[in-house]
Amino acid sequence: MSRNNALRGFAPLNWIPRRARSTYHCEISCDDACFRPAPNHSGNEPFAAILNRRISRRSLVRATIAGAPLLALSTSPLGSQIFGSAPLSRQAEAASSTIGLQSIPHDNEDSINIAEGYTSNVVIRWGDAVVPGAPAFNLNGQTAESAAKQFGFNCDYNGFFPLLPGQSRRGLLGVNHEYTSGVDMFPGYDADNVTAEQAAIEIVSHGLSVVEVTRGEDGSWSYDASSSHNFRITGETPMRLTGPGAGSLYTITIADPTGVDVLGMFNNCSGGRTPWGTILTAEENFNQYFANAGEDTRAARYGIPEAGSRRHWEDFYDRFDMNIEPNEPNRHGYLVEIDPYDPSFTPRKHTAMGRFKHEAASVTLSDDGRAVVYSGDDQRFDYVYKFISNDRYNIFSRSANLDLLSSGTLFAARFNDDGSGEWLPLVAGSPPLHTWTNAGIATFTRLAADAVGATPMDRPEDIEVNPINHRVYIALTNNTQRAEDAVNGANPRGPNTHGHILELTENGGDAASRRFTWDIFILCGDPSDSEQETYFAGFDKSELDSISAPDNLAVDVNGNLWISTDGQPSKLGQADAIYVVPTAGPERGRIRRFMTGVPDGEMAGPEFTPDFGTLFVSVQHPGEAGGLDEPTSTWPDGEFPRPSVVAAYKDDGGVVGT
Ligand code: FEO
Ligand code: CA
Ligand code: CA
């Protein structure tokens, strides 16, 4: 198909969301984010409305149908208008990246399928022993005491930490456990009559696992259930708040008058590694765990239920009931720092990086050595954030670096229609935040970002810094509620059924810059469907594969972007998958499908070993559409579905993707 034909279908899609997941699963994973109205913003005019007066999807249609030179789209004046202008330096691209693998077809098979020349194996599964001495998993005999020592439910983020510098065949794998769903965990589960033991099991099945993993002579990976390095973090683990929100009037509770000591973390979606070797894990849809917010408008901005929760934990624990502990939800929704090398390290919830539905964290250093952390707020019409630490990275003191994320400045992103952008500081006392305190900003970050006029985005998911070209990639998974007349340059489709990926360049290439330029890298969808508006960095779409719902990102040694998806079963009728796409050279934008997941299981948490010879991936919620009693998948063992981590590697032992 010519690109003219492919770009012709800019008519409204009239797409109606189709529920592949049950109402129960939608509520229990993300509080029904796709179908619930987005929590109200403070009433500032959505930036989309401003952009809409100038942006010109129609002008793009006219121009492309009239025969605009399509391959020049991203750098032409038209491309600059629609997709953002590119600084001159970007026209002189970095060296081409090469991908050696052949794309595989999409499927719905109940197996992990992978590109020719590659193999994958299951490393660890829900219920496997983590803490030495943990009992074997017994589906029909689950207890909270056992679950607290076993691999938790719904693995998501993976972080690989060598035990010796540069080691790629042995290390620690830190894996978080995003959420639980009783219908997928307990035979005969009755969601309306949750038992105290079920609630207790679910609480400790959240959190994070650290296990020692080793690569064998045959290339496969296994974990050591007897390793003294292994430990669990659960929804009961003591943690400490740091930063301006710690110990404030917003975080003190009856159980904790200091406002500093918190039990557990919930709904940890993705995460990131720090340069000093710790995990940042991101509390995402924490709102759904709490109940009885009533008319609290700030709680409403976070989507906390006005009355009872779907999980019913408030029936057994005061801390989940806002009638008893109104401040408890303010102690969740943070980036949490965990030391994978030290089980005794008390996890730190860093309030300085804001409280919102953090999808992930991408950590880098500014030119002057300060820590910079990018993080997206995964809600329709919410924002992209960046944190810059006050202090500099200390190459001589790891313990000093553990305090870096406790103080600094948080910014929210404004994407201008002309392809420029600005990081808006969230600082108490500066207009329009002159009546705010820093504790208030740290705790009610969404409302502060509303006030400064950040750009409402199409569900910001993972953000990844590409160390090869120094650009920042932002996955926006979809937004079926963006109206056709409310698009903007950075979110150009309404509704946005399939999501897109932005490419951001900090001015001067410095992560601490206050200004940036941006471009659209990929508009996801089915490139063979002329009714869909898709774009793949200008690459000829006739050769490309379909992709929808981009979620997590990783970057390989050649600067290629790896993408995991969450939502293709409902969007494209195919299993979620892992894709790879070059970011430079003549194949920039040529997307390939590398690995496919199993029915109704998202692919999450792609993570390379330091030698880029292995890619770890989480297969989350396999077969969940039917629950445990009628699962749509029985992966990985053919008995019942078990969320698991897999390792993928090249049969010849080489670098993945080459
Ligand atoms: Fe848990 Fe935004 O995915
Ligand atoms: Ca997820
Ligand atoms: Ca995710």
Consecutive H or E run containing 570? helix 568-571
How much is the pLDDT for 88? 26
Does residue 12 or residue 203 have the better pLDDT?
Answer: 203
Q: Report the distance separating Cα 194 and Cα 214, nearest Å.
A: 39
Q: Are 546 and 499 in contact (CB under 8 A)?
A: no
Q: Which atom of ligand 1 is nearest to the CA of 459?
A: 2
Report the pLDDT value the prediction gives residue 34, as an integer from 0 to 100: 66
Per-residue pLDDT at 61 exceeds 80: no
Q: Which residues pair with 215 in a beta bridge?
A: 221
* Cα–ligand 2 centroid distance for 179 (angstroms): 8
pLDDT at position 26, please?
Answer: 79
Residue 533 CB less than 6 A away from ligand 1: no
CA of 566 to the centre of ligand 2 (A): 7
Band (pLDDT 50/70/90 cuts) for residue 445 is: very high
Query: Confidence band (pLDDT; 50, 70, 90) for 302?
Result: very high
* Residue 226: count of CB within 10 angstroms of its CB: 9
**Between 383 and 83, the higher pLDDT residue:** 383
CA dihedral 431, 432, 437, 442 (to 10 degrees): -120
Output the CA 169–ligand 2 centroid distance in Å: 27
Distance CA 78, CA 72 (A): 9
Least confident of 70-74, 127-131, 297-301: 70-74
SS in 3 state form for 450-481? HHHCCCCEECEEEEEECCCCCCEEEEECCECC
Ligand 2 centre to CA of 77 (Å) is: 38
CA 351 / ligand 3 centre spacing (Å): 21
The minimum-distance atom of ligand 1 relative to the CA of 178 is 1
Q: 550 CA to middle of ligand 2, Å?
A: 11
The minimum-distance atom of ligand 1 relative to the CA of 284 is 1
Average pLDDT over residues 65-93: 28
| Other beta carbons within 10 Å of 406 | 20
CA of 4 to the centre of ligand 2 (A): 36
Higher pLDDT, 32 or 615: 615
Q: Which atom of ligand 1 is nearest to the CA of 378?
A: 2
d(CA 289, CA 532): 37
For the Cβ of 461 lying below 6 angstroms from any atom of ligand 1, the answer is yes
Nearest ligand 1 atom to alpha carbon 359: 2
Q: How far is the CA of 199 from the centre of ligand 2 (A)?
A: 21
DSSP 443: H
The pLDDT of 450-467, averaged and rounded, is 98
Q: Which ligand is nearest to the CA of 478?
A: 1
- Residue 52 pLDDT > 80: no
Instruction: Kindly indicate the confidence band of residue 32, based on its pLDDT and cuts at 50, 70 and 90.
Output: confident
Q: Which residues lie below 8 Å from residue 218, measured CB to CB, with a gap of 6+?
A: none
Q: Is the C-beta atom of 283 inside 6 A of ligand 1?
A: no
Residues 6+ apart with CB under 8 A from 554: 464, 561, 562, 606, 607, 608, 615
Cα distances (angstroms) measured from residue 511 to each of 26, 376, 506: 36, 16, 6
Considering every ligand atom, which ligand is closest to the CA of 34?
Answer: 1
Tokens of 344: 């005794």
pLDDT of 450: 98
Residue 378 Cβ inside 6 Å of ligand 1? The answer reads yes
User: Which residues 6+ apart lie within 8 Å of 528 measured at CB?
Assistant: 1, 541, 542, 546
Buried b (16+ CB within 10 A) or exposed e, 390-401: ebebeeeeeeeb
- Summarised one tens digit per residue, pLDDT across range 100-125 is 999 999 999 999 999 999 999 999 99
Name the average pLDDT for the chain. 89
Does ligand 1 come within 6 angstroms of the Cβ of 284? yes
Ligand 3 (single-atom ion) residues, CB below 5 Å: 269, 551
Cα of 375 vs centre of ligand 3, distance in Å, is 12
- Cα separation of 185 and 140, whole Å? 10
pLDDT band of 40, cuts 50, 70, 90? low
The finding on whether 269 has its CB within 6 A of some atom of ligand 1 is yes
Cβ of 382 closer than 6 Å to ligand 1, yes or no, is no
Percent of the chain with pLDDT over 90: 84
Ligand 1 in reach of 359 Cβ (< 6 A): yes
Ligand nearest to the CA of 30: 1
pTM of whole model > 0.85?
Answer: yes
The closest ligand to the CA of 33 turns out to be: 1
Sign of CA dihedral 118, 658, 520, 282: positive
Q: Which of 43-57, 430-444, 554-568, 583-597 has the lowest mean pLDDT?
A: 43-57
Ligand 1 centroid to Cα of residue 570, in Å, is 16
Nearest CA to ligand 1 atom 1: 269
